[in-house]
Structure 1
Amino acid sequence: MIYDCAIVGGGPAGLNAALVLGRARRTVALFDDNRPRNAVTHASHGYLTRDGIEPAEFRRIAYEEVLKYPSVQHWPVEATAIRKTNQGFEISTMTGELVQARKLILAAGLKEIFPDIEGLRDFYGKSLFNCPFCDGWEMRDKPLVVVSQDPGVYHLTKMLYNWSRDLIVCTNGHSILDNEQKGKLESKGIAVIESPLAAFYGQDGILEQVRFADGTHIERSGGFIMSKLVSKAAFAEELGYDKTNLGGIVADANCRSTVTGLYAAGDAAYVGPSQLIIAAASGSRAAAAVLGDLVEEEFS
């Protein structure tokens, strides 16, 4: 069997793409190994009618809706290799299957790489977050730490000032802000600490202290940390698509990549910000483009 479309990734982008294609009576192979990036998060926000929903419950509802359409088949395995063929694409799975598809949507998203700071994982998703649009409301008016080794921390801090005026920026031993930026932050009462970080301390996932390598510490109730984002599904060498400066897949407004028949949706085509509702909309656009291209081919 050759599917009309294979979708690699079962987040909001991949699931919404499968929904649109299923409703269009197209055969879909949806590959999802159930390792979402937001698994550590207790609640997802900013998605109309689902604000505050647990990520696992969001996935349960989404799969219930998507798999109502008989032409959509869920493959609960990791896609380990993909190659371009004369008929489209061949996907190899971790369990040894080979699946053929005319079109391919990469929607596997991104994975996060964090600085090696003791205790970070204990607080991430509970009182340390990375997206102010997703969790800024819950952290409003609290004393927060903003941790980053990237110059983008300046923009992030200005955004977070919308939710809390009690901010301290920690650059973990890196001098990434110039004097003008430091001056503007300090004019708003935002201190910048460049000392290397040693550990996060608190209880039950709630941050209490940020400790530095020199033995000093600051009291904080939560914060935001910038991670490095890299593509979760790295098939660039196999498929030859162009990548963005942020590591995503170059795609046009209709999610078409630089490789014919290959589309990128959600965080796979990351340009920021990373939100459920934006990813789902991207999946819908990708599916519409796939359907349009299939129809044109069938009529040509």
Structure 2
Amino acid sequence: MKNKNTTSIHPFEVIIIGGSYAGLSAAMSLGRSLRKVLIIDRGLPCNRSTPKSHNFLTQDGEAPAAISELSKKQVLTYNTVEIRNDLATSCERHEDTFRVETESGETYLGKKVLFATGIKDLLPKIEGLSDCWGKSVIHCPYCHGYEYHGKKTGILANGEAAIHLTKLISNLTQDLTIFTNGPTDLTSEQTESLGQRNIDLIETPLKTIKHQEGYINHLDLEDGSIVQIDALYARVPFQQNCKLPENMGCELNEHGFISINNFQETNIEGVFAAGDNSSGMRSLANAIAAGSLAGAIINGQLCDEDFGSPMNLN
């Protein structure tokens, strides 16, 4: 690692901060347009604990790391794209150029910046939960639900979030229990509706998730009771994985995602966002689609600037 006092400046047309699926997808669009692109990534994708990825054509059931490795290999066949294993520590605008500094002491300049930085899940402090995250404690029925269809299934959520997940998951299993992990926020009408569908509701807090290498055996509750389940959906809060967009003035929406328009643009001219940091549809396929669009729009804007007049996208 270079000393932070090292002064070296590297110019690019586009700097992509975050090199998982959205970032790599954008880089491919840009690389195929011969744009000089830098990806800065420290190699810690949010789905790194998940053994298999699903619901993505041609790669259903493949390990996320294998998909990422193949993606990087293909993106780097375009020799205008580079990847640095580093952490971006600052991003500032200086007139019509963005200046990005990294943990290793490097400085990069770019005309456009794309944040593909993902989000960080804030997991409840329940013993065993983090060990099972992405394996048998899961967040998305589209990503993981089929593998547990017909199994004993729990939902760790409360209020409207619990009802939303219940509607989706009840199509996959008839053996369903909601764990509110404390007093319920459900209305009496909602509780009655669950009872009519034979969906159990347990308010007793969870103490421990007993598991074997991340796969649930049973749940221990605070009152000493034991509940046998095979999978537990958990609706957990999150925060932005990277604070740089907010530090630059990028707006967040009411759900905590980076606000973007239909072209992946933030409220700051020249700054884009794609992937989990800016979308509630949290999936590999969606991240790749968003990255591909961002790359195309960024390239289009660079072309506009070269010609001095904008293209008509309507």
* Partners of 1:97 and 1:204 in 2: CA distance: 40
Give, in angstroms, the shift of residue 19 of structure 1: 0.4
Return the match for 1:91 from 63, 86, 100.
100
Q: 2:220 aligns with which of 211, 223, 240?
A: 211
Is the counterpart of residue 295 in structure 1 residue 303 in structure 2?
yes
CA contact (8 A) 1:92 1:99 kept: yes
2:264 match: 255
* C-alpha contact 2:159 2:186 (8 A) present in aligned 1: no
| Structure 1 residue identity aligned to 2:285 | I
Find the residue that maps to 1:280 and give its secondary structure.
helix
Percentage of matched positions with identical amino acids: 33
Residue 187 (structure 2) aligns with: 178
Residue of 280, 284, 287 corresponding to 1:276 = 284
- Indicate the residue corresponding to 1:51 in structure 2: 60
Partner amino acid, structure 2, of 1:78:
L
For 1:33 and 1:68, locate their aligned partners in 2 and report how far apart those are by CA, in whole Å: 20
* 2:252 alignment partner, SS class: coil
In 2, Cα distance between equivalents of 1:236 and 1:59: 24
Alignment equivalent of 1:119, drawn from 128, 147, 152 = 128
Contact 1:22 1:28 in 2 (8 A): yes
User: For residues 280 and 20 of structure 1, what CA distance do their matches in structure 2 show?
Assistant: 11
Looking at structure 2, the residues matched to 227 and 90 of structure 1 have their Cα atoms a distance apart, in angstroms, of: 34
Change beyond 3 A, Cα 1:81–1:156? same
Q: C-alpha distance in 2, partners of 1:234/1:91?
A: 13
Q: Distance in 1 between matches of 2:261 and 2:196?
A: 41
1:82-123 CA-to-partner distances (Å, cap 9, x unmatched) read 111113211111111111100000011111001110111222
> Which of residues 202, 206, 221 is equivalent to 2:230?
221
Deviations 1:245-271 (A, max 9, x none): 22111100110110000011111212x
Q: Is the 8 A contact 1:88 1:261 kept in 2?
A: no
Q: TM-score, normalised by structure 2?
A: 0.92
Secondary structure in 2 matching 1:254: coil
Aligned pairs (5 A) from 1:33-48: 33-48=42-57
Matched, 1:8 2:17: yes
* AA of the residue aligned to 2:228: E
Root mean square deviation, CA, Å? 1.2
Cα deviation, residue 149, structure 1 = 4.4
- Residue 301 of structure 2 aligns to which amino acid in structure 1? D
2:15–2:112 Cα contact (<8 Å) kept: yes
Runs of 4+ in 1 over 6 A off after TM superposition: none
Alignment-derived partner of residue 75 in structure 1: 84
Q: Tell me the CA shift for residue 126 of structure 1.
A: 2.1
> Which segment is superposed worse, 273-282 or 122-131?
122-131
Cα drift, residue 206 of structure 1: 2.0
Match in the other structure for 2:243 = 234
Name structure 2 gaps, 5 residues minimum.
Answer: 1-9, 309-314
Structure 2: distance between partners of 1:250 and 1:189: 40
Q: Distance in 1 between matches of 2:94 and 2:257?
A: 23
Q: 1:183 to 1:55 in 2, by over 3 A?
A: same
- State the partner residue of 1:133: 142
Taking the aligned partners of 2:227 and 2:246, their CA distance within structure 1 comes to: 45
TM-superposed CA distance for 1:238, in Å, is 2.5
Separation of aligned partners in 2, 1:93 and 1:174: 45
Which one is further off, 248-257 or 120-129?
120-129
Q: Name the SS for the 1:296 alignment partner.
A: helix
Q: CA deviation at 1:44?
A: 0.4
| Residue 7 of structure 2: aligned partner | none
Once residues 292 and 248 of structure 2 are traced to their aligned partners in structure 1, the CA distance between those partners, rounded to angstroms, is 23
Mapped to 1, the partners of 2:251 and 2:123 lie a distance apart of 25
Query: TM-score, structure 1 length as denominator?
Result: 0.97
**Shift in Å, 1:191:** 0.9
Residue 163 (structure 2) pairs with residue 143 (structure 1): no
1:35 to partner: Cα distance: 0.2
Once structures 1 and 2 are overlaid, which stretch shifts more, 238-247 or 136-145? 238-247
The code of the aligned residue for 2:273 comes to A
Alignment partners' CA distance in 1, 2:141 and 2:232: 10
Of the candidates 160, 165, 171, which is equivalent to residue 169 of structure 2?
160
By how many angstroms is 1:78 displaced?
A: 1.0
Provide the residue aligned with 2:118 in structure 1.
109
